[in-house]
């Protein structure tokens, strides 16, 4: 595909992402009313689980393909986390602070809309599979790493885990989903992507880039290691087409905002994690055109 055409397609993917995130950023800067507690609670407890459920129940994929994408997601996160350990030890940085930020990319706020616009509904379904696996890890291992202990209560209060389990059970059993349930969860799930992007812009407007050199260097490592591990996993598993593109995009995303929220909740150097969220997101926005040209050609 000619370079100009690729750039045009990449811009068509990026423009809506930038526009909605910029709207959230500008909204907060203009001091317009925004109830972050409600939006976050609604996104985590309602719209995101509904998006996961509706996307997974609409999948026309075999159990083998679903297992393949789930395994790819788990492998990307585990390998990126493992690759970061010697670097963090050499830099004398605390693993408890930085490993979750390295392991869990922003596969929701940023990854889902990118995959939707780049690969269509089929790409969104695959991206939701990746996001579902990451969500399970982020809401179980994420708080455990940040707190230094496993929080069973947090895990059982995570709706996304139940949405994944129920959707997979329905798919494997071949059960018909009542139309009203499908329509309701699809309607609520459709709120998730714009809410995630808007909330990302709001979150970025309130974060401060503390320890700039350290934050930027670790941000650059997160992005490069994520892309490298995504490339390695896609090659090792023989992924092609949209599956390969989705794994590369999702694995290459910046540090997820929830890493900052967990760090803030458990007093786990939230300023350092905020710097990585902000730094890696800024770097990712600059690198996205090149990334999309790689995965879309």
**How far apart (Å, rounded) are the C-alpha atoms in residues 200 and 206?**
10
**How far apart (Å, rounded) are the C-alpha atoms in residues 200 and 18?**
10
pLDDT at residue 75 in the model: 96
Six-digit token pair at 158? 């995570």
pLDDT at residue 286 in the model: 84
What's the full length of the chain, in residues?
Answer: 297
Rounded to two decimals, the pTM is: 0.79
Six-digit token pair at 61? 């994929």
pLDDT at residue 7 in the model: 59
**Three-class SS state of 255:** strand
Contacts of 290 (CB under 8 A, 6+ apart): none
**How far apart (Å, rounded) are the C-alpha atoms in residues 153 and 265?**
15
Mind listing the pLDDT tens digit of every residue in the chain (297 residues)?
Answer: 455 565 566 677 677 777 888 898 899 889 898 887 788 788 878 888 898 888 788 877 677 888 899 999 999 999 999 999 999 999 898 888 889 889 999 887 788 888 888 888 888 889 988 988 888 888 778 777 776 777 666 667 778 888 888 988 888 888 888 999 999 999 998 887 788 778 777 877 776 666 678 888 899 999 999 999 999 999 999 999 889 999 999 999 988 877 877 777 777 777 788 788 888 888 888 888 888 888 877
CA 220 distance to own-chain centroid: 17
Q: How far is CA 41 from CA 113, 128, 245, in A?
A: 20, 19, 31
Q: Which CATH fold would you assign to the domain 36-296? A: Na+/H+ antiporter like fold (1.20.1530)
- The pair phi, psi for residue 192, each rounded to 5°, is -65, -50
Residues 73 and 134: beta-carbon distance below 8 Å: yes
């Amino acid at each position: 595909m000619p370079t100009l055409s690729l750039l045009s397609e990449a811009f068509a993917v990026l423009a809506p992402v930038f526009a909605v995130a910029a709207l959230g950023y500008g909204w907060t800067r203009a001091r317009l009313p925004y109830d972050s507690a409600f939006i976050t609670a609604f996104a985590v407890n309602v719209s995101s689980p509904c998006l996961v459920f509706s996307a997974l129940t609409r999948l026309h994929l075999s159990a083998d393909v679903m297992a393949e994408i789930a395994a790819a997601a788990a492998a990307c996160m585990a390998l990126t986390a493992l690759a970061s350990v010697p670097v963090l030890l050499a830099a004398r940085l605390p693993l408890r602070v930085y490993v979750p930020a390295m392991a869990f990319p922003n596969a929701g706020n940023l990854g889902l809309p990118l995959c939707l616009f780049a690969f269509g509904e089929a790409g969104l379904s695959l991206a939701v599979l990746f996001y579902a696996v990451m969500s399970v890890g982020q809401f179980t291992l994420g708080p455990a790493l940040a707190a230094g202990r496993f929080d069973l209560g947090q895990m059982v209060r995570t709706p996304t885990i139940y949405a994944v389990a129920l959707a997979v059970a329905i798919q494997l059993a071949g059960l018909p989903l009542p139309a009203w349930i499908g329509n309701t969860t699809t309607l609520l799930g459709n709120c998730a992507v714009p809410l995630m992007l808007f909330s990302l812009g709001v979150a970025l407007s309130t974060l401060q880039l503390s320890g700039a050199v350290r934050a930027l260097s670790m941000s650059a490592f997160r992005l490069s290691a994520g892309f490298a591990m995504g490339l390695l996993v896609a090659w090792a598993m023989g992924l092609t087409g949209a599956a390969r593109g989705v794994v590369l995009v999702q694995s290459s995303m910046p540090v997820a905002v929830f890493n900052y929220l967990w760090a803030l909740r458990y007093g786990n150097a939230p300023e350092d994690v905020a710097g990585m969220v902000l730094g890696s997101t800024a770097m990712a926005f600059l690198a996205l055109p090149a990334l999309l040209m790689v995965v879309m050609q």
